[in-house]
Every structure is written in C-alpha cells, then in structure tokens.
Amino acid sequence: MRVLVQLPEGLKPKAPEIVRELEEKGYEVILSASPMYGGCDIAYEEAKAVGAQKIIHVGHSYFPLKRTFEDIEVEYIPYHIDIEIGWPELVKELKSKNIKTLSVLTTVQHIHQFPQIKEYFEKEGFEVKVRKGPFCTYEGQVLGCDAYGIHPEAEAAVIIADGDFHHTAATHIAHKMPVYGVNPYTKAFSQVNEKLIRLLKRRRGSLLKALEAQHFGILVSTKPGQWGFKLALEIKKKLEARGKKAYILVGNELFPDSLYNYLFIEVYINTACPRIVDDVEKYKKPIINPDQLQEFFTLLGQDTQ
C-alpha cells in the first residue's frame, strides 16, 4: 500500500529510520514536504495527488476533523519523549501560595507519563483535577488551541510543555487562577498570567479597531481540522447585511505577506487556527476570532441574529 507520511519539523531528520520501519511493514512511502502544525493538519491534497491510500501522521494525536476524504485512511502515530518527573521548586512555590487543588496538563509527547506526573503532585499533597479538552484525545493533554482540560475548580494550572505556545493557550483562565508554564527538559518554570493578559488585550484592541472597518477578509484554511468555510459564508452574510464588504480568502497555509497584498482589506476574521490572532504583528492588520464576533456585533449596535 502507498502511504503519505507527515512528520513534524523536529522529526523530519529521523525520516530514514521511520521510512525503513514502514518499508519493512510493506508500505511504499512518500514523505510530505510541507510544514505540519498539529493533528488538525492532514495532507489530504498531497495524498490524493500521489495516489496514497493512507496518511500516516506522526507526532500528534487524533483531532476532530471538519473535512475528510473518506477513501483515505488517517493513522495517527504518537511520538513519546520521556521526561524526568519531579519539580520540587515549583511545589515550593505552589505551597507558598497555599494552593491545594491543581490542574496539570502536558503535550502529547509526554502524555504517556501523565499518570506518574499526576501521582507526583498528589504525593506532594495536592488534589489534581483535570478534564479532557474538546480537541484533545487524552485527559491531561494540552494543545495550542485547547487548554480546556484545566478544571474550573482548580486553584492553579501547571502546563508542562516545551516553548510557550502551549503555556499561552490558557487565556480563558488568565484572570481566574495562576498559570505556570514549565519547561519539561530544564524544569524552569514561570507564571504566565501577564503574558496571557497581554494576548487578551491585543485581541480586544483588534476587535475595537474592527468596529471602524468597512472591508473584511475572512480567512479560511483547507487544513481538515481548521476548515471553517460554512462559518465564513455565514459571517460574510452577516457583515454584508450590516453594510460592510467581506471577501473570503482560502488557502491551505495562510501567508501573511501574500494576504497583505489585498491592500484594501482592513481587518481579518479568522476561521482557521485560533492562535493566528496572536501573530497579529506578522499579518500587520487586526485579526479577530469567531468567538469575538458576538461582542463585535453587539458593539456595532446590531446583534448576531
């Protein structure tokens, strides 16, 4: 069987061993040359172009897809990396704040160790409360677009993830509890609430600027987990019913410089990856997410009906 293999950037150098293993299983392997951002990003177009019957998507977990090609199977293969369990300095900090109930989340790379991570904090006397976020596969997992595994009754959240993309996924609780981002390899940690509040302020700033705009670009990505075409059509209708002009802009990957050449567009409304809004400097124009539209239309003086 011919398969298309998608690898995240960090795993591309390991392609020879991954390809060898798959070839030993009898697969004919074609590698995707595209960047790959998450479980939302399934390369159906590439698979179709090369006649692959299956996509092997490495390094991410299952993501609920909004657009599929039923004749092409998708297999998600996780890539786990062990980390050393134990964060005594963080425990000291949490205890100094009299925190007793915690939510702890980690990325899919370390989720296989989640039971030990949870047990560690429980042995230190914390009650660990977590949920499964809507786009996540596992309880205790975090994605850049889903930190809803943080339990509302927790007194603090701890997110164990490399870089700060996942640490800053928790904007919804920025004002509710301390959020700690922890580096899984160095164990360095910091409270990220100020960063989260900064992101929220920037998103609100974009929304306020959008109130003055006449020309909107509605961004749609063909990535199967990000596909929001129906929503884009609805948004366009609502905007045009209010005398605005809206254009739907579709692409697999949304390139800020290329989009910028639509000079007449004043504001983007983003139906793709919700974290695009945090790249507002690259896009050089305000961007608002659909979850801000209700407020947007209310401030505009007309409801969303």
- Number of Cβ within 10 Å of residue 115's Cβ equals 10
**Residue 148 sits in the site that holds ligand SF4 (CB under 6 A):** no
Whichever of 60 and 238 has its CB closer to ligand SF4, that residue is 60
For residue 38, state whether it binds ligand SF4 (rule: CB under 6 A).
yes
CA angle 109, 179, 164 (to 5 degrees): 45
Instruction: Please report which helix (H) or strand (E) contains residue 116, including its range.
Output: helix 114-123
Distance in angstroms (rounded) separating the CA atoms of residues 283 and 289: 14
Of 34-42, 51-59, 172-180, 250-258, the window that binds ligand SF4 (rule: CB under 6 A) is 34-42
Residue 39 interacting with ligand SF4 (CB under 6 A): yes
Minimum distance from residue 125 beta carbon to ligand SF4 (Å): 33
Q: Which is nearer to ligand SF4, 41 or 155 (CB)?
A: 41
Q: Choose, by CB under 6 A, the member of 59, 133, 144, 224 that binds ligand SF4.
A: 144
Q: Which amino acid, one-letter code, is at 77?
A: I
Residue written as token pair 């230190």: 124
Q: Which residues does residue 29 pair with via DSSP β-bridges, in sequence order?
A: 3
Element (H, E) at 291: none
| Least distance to ligand SF4, CB of residue 221, Å | 9
**40 sits near ligand SF4 (criterion: CB under 6 A):** yes
Q: What DSSP letter does each residue of 50-77 carry, written as one string?
A: HT-SEEEEESS-----SS--TTSEEEEE
Q: 147-151 long-range contacts, Cβ below 8 Å, gap at least 24?
A: 147/105, 147/172, 147/173, 148/172, 149/103, 149/105, 150/103, 150/105, 150/177, 150/179, 151/101, 151/103
Kindly tell me which residue out of 273, 277, 287, 288 binds ligand SF4, with binding defined by CB under 6 A.
Answer: 273
Helices (H) and strands (E) in the chain, counts: 9, 13
Q: Shortest approach of ligand SF4 to residue 60 CB, angstroms?
A: 7
CB of 16 to ligand SF4, least distance (A): 26
**Binding string, residues 216-255; x marks residues near ligand SF4 by CB under 6 A:** ---------xx-----------------------------
Output the smallest distance, CB 1 to ligand SF4, in A.
27
Piece of the chain touching ligand SF4 by CB under 6 A; list 35-43, 45-53, 122-130, 287-295 = 35-43
Q: Could you list the residues that contact ligand SF4 (CB under 6 A)?
A: 37-40, 143-145, 225-226, 273, 275
